[in-house]
Amino acid sequence: MDLQSATRAELLVVCSKQSDEIEALKSRVSWFERQYFGAKSERVIPQDPRQSTLFEVPEAPPPESTTVKSYERSCRKKQTDTGDGKSVRFDETVPVDETVVLPEEVQGLSPDQYEIIGEKVTERLIQIPTQYRVERTIRKTVKLKDALYTAPAPPSVIERSFADVTFLAGMLSDKFLYHIPLFRQHQRLNVAGVHISRGHLTRLVHRSLELLEPIYYAILSSVISSELVSMDETPVKASRKVKGKMHKAYFWPVFAEEEVVFVYQDSRKHEVVPKILGNTCKKLLSDGYSAYQRYAESRAELVHAVCWSHARRKFFDARQHAPPECEKVLELIGALFAIERETSEDDLLIARRTRSLPIVDEFFSYLNFLWFEQMVERSSLLGKAVAYAREREKQLRQFLNHQDIPLSNNHVERAIRPVALGRKNWLFCWTEVGAKYAAIAYTLIECCKLHGIEPWTYLVDVLQRIDSHPAREVHQLAPKNWKNIVNN
């Protein structure tokens, strides 16, 4: 009998472990299904208790409708896409070709035989395929007395290159702003009658970005020397690890004072963070990756804060499997973000200490209740979410004492999006050199977007300035400072 009891107990333990493993696998499959088929948005719209659902039967009949006089109704004209009037919107930078058309009835008559009393304008937005033009400069050689004279060749960004600065800036913008790989640009050039090898296009991109490299390092120096730095990482395939397989490397975006710089590294190892940041910054905002925690432990004076959006995301992923618990947690975190939106910058620190602090205390008290009293399964999505937040309580509370630390690291993740879009188009960087040049391009273009600068205009101007600009003042060509040079 004792043997049967022991065997039964062992079977119960095995069944319990298998049940937990099955639930964990179901949760994982559910997460992958949502990533592949479902919506990526993590927005949660709270249900108003006064709002009834679509299929809810009301307890009382709706009130009788009242008749509204027709002349009191506000009529809204439907917009049409006929092109008449103001239905097509564009600014003054779009070229306009005007054609004046007279009725057939007045064709052949002299202007004094009819009177124009008005006009109707019809506008159509047309598109012309990408055009390439050749600027041919013919420099005559003349003989004056016993000497020969020829005008100097027009200045060129790349010496002895046929590529104008506008062509170089266009290639960089197409590849890194609009995510058009050089393969597709090469196809478009061939259709337009321009026959350049893809290898030469790659060399032109590398030469152009090599010229812009000093500006990149000036931005990097400015960012890592800031007091508050936000950091993240995103994978990229670069260089072949073995034949037929690309090496998995990383772009590390570092954000500070409305500037972002992408640093290419061949791994995600812990030593990468101190290699990039050094010892200058005083505050660091990141996700919960252990590399940032280890870096913070190596610097006792560093204030390390963890992003609340990353903590929220784990509860959002567990929402389907533990709705009541996750809904309460998401509601508490949503209240923190609501306070940030409603409060002005001058009153932010006071609001955090008076309004946010009680919410944070309630948040962690509820997590402790789930962990110790409810005994949530540690391997479940909810258990992992609770463990993630509890282990980083100190870092999640840092924003309460520092006004300049944001609640989330979303501004860095927004800067990463173009890299993710690019990966889906150009797929990989064939060499590590190409990956480093891609980091330079993304840095300059994203900084332009942060400061409302049109990247093509910036690249055209800076590529012409960089050769003659003083090296000690190269930081002035960073997008943040470039506006001042142009305006002056």
Measured distance CA(300)–CA(322) in Å, rounded: 38
pLDDT of residue 82: 46
pLDDT of residue 88 exceeding 80, the answer is: no
Q: Which two tokens stand for residue 93?
A: 């930078």
φ, ψ dihedrals at 360, nearest 5°:
-65, -40
Q: Count Cβ atoms within 10 A of the Cβ of residue 289 and give its class: 0-12 exposed, 13-18 middle, 19 or more buried.
A: middle
> Domain end: 373, 389, 408, which one?
408
Among 34-38, 40-44, 286-290, 316-320, name the most confident range.
286-290
Please give the DSSP secondary-structure letter assigned to residue 429: B
- 362 and 289 co-located in one domain: no
Residue type for position 357:
L
- 369 and 314 co-located in one domain: yes
| pLDDT tens, residue by residue, 102-156 | 998 888 888 888 898 999 988 888 888 888 999 899 988 998 888 998 988 888 8
- 268 and 281 co-located in one domain: yes
Q: CA 166 → CA 66, 394, 460, 463, distances in Å?
A: 65, 51, 6, 10
pLDDT of residue 396 exceeding 70, the answer is: yes
- 301 and 189 co-located in one domain: yes
- 354 and 457 co-located in one domain: no
Residue 71 belongs to a domain: no
Say how many domains are in the chain. Answer: 2
Measured distance CA(413)–CA(409) in Å, rounded: 7
Residue 110 belongs to a domain: no
- 393 and 422 co-located in one domain: no
pLDDT of residue 477 exceeding 90, the answer is: yes
Q: Which two tokens stand for residue 389?
A: 């937040």
Q: Are the beta carbons of 429 and 437 closer than 8 angstroms? A: no
Q: Are the beta carbons of 422 and 235 closer than 8 angstroms? A: no
**Residue of 410 and 39 predicted with greater confidence:** 410
| pLDDT tens, residue by residue, 206-263 | 999 999 999 999 999 999 999 999 999 999 999 887 777 889 999 999 999 999 999 9
Measured distance CA(338)–CA(359) in Å, rounded: 12
- 214 and 288 co-located in one domain: yes
Measured distance CA(364)–CA(210) in Å, rounded: 50
- 416 and 464 co-located in one domain: yes
Long-range contacts from 241-244, C-beta under 8 angstroms, 24+ separation: none
**Residue of 49 and 27 predicted with greater confidence:** 27
Q: Are the beta carbons of 139 and 153 closer than 8 angstroms? A: yes
Name residues whose C-beta falls within 8 Å of residue 28's C-beta, 6 or more positions apart in sequence.
none
Q: Which two tokens stand for residue 481?
A: 């400072």
- 135 and 217 co-located in one domain: yes
Q: CA 390 → CA 374, 382, 393, distances in Å?
A: 15, 12, 5
Q: Find residue 285's DSSP bridge partners.
A: 230, 305
Most distant CA atoms of the chain, gap in Å? 125
**Rounded mean pLDDT of 345-366?**
96
| pLDDT tens, residue by residue, 305-330 | 999 999 999 999 898 888 999 999 99
Residue 101 belongs to a domain: no
pLDDT of residue 343: 94
Residue 206 belongs to a domain: yes
Report the percent of the chain where pLDDT is more than 70.
Answer: 88
Measured distance CA(34)–CA(20) in Å, rounded: 21
Residue 379 has a CB neighbour count (10 Å cut-off) of: 13
Measured distance CA(280)–CA(275) in Å, rounded: 12
Q: Which two tokens stand for residue 189?
A: 């050039």
Is the CA virtual torsion 361, 291, 409, 402 positive or negative?
A: positive
Q: Which two tokens stand for residue 275?
A: 């290699």
Residue 19 belongs to a domain: no
Planar angle of CA 422, 425, 430, nearest 5 degrees: 85
Looking only at the bridges linking them, the beta strands covering 234-242 and 245-256 are: antiparallel
- 286 and 204 co-located in one domain: yes
Looking only at the bridges linking them, the beta strands covering 147-150 and 228-231 are: unpaired
Measured distance CA(20)–CA(125) in Å, rounded: 60
- 289 and 418 co-located in one domain: yes
- 425 and 398 co-located in one domain: no
**Residue of 2 and 212 predicted with greater confidence:** 212
Q: Which two tokens stand for residue 18?
A: 């298998």
Q: Which two tokens stand for residue 443?
A: 């840095």
> Domain end: 408, 435, 470, which one?
408
**Rounded mean pLDDT of 48-74?**
56
Please give the DSSP secondary-structure letter assigned to residue 226: S
Residue 254 belongs to a domain: yes
pLDDT of residue 72 exceeding 90, the answer is: no
> Domain end: 353, 376, 408, which one?
408
Q: Count Cβ atoms within 10 A of the Cβ of residue 460 and give its class: 0-12 exposed, 13-18 middle, 19 or more buried.
A: buried
Residue 250 belongs to a domain: yes
The mean of the pLDDT values for the chain is: 87
**Spatial CA neighbour of 44 closest among 258, 330, 426:** 330
pLDDT of residue 86 exceeding 80, the answer is: no
Helix (H) or strand (E) holding 402: none
> Residue 315: which domain range?
308-408
Residue 184 belongs to a domain: yes
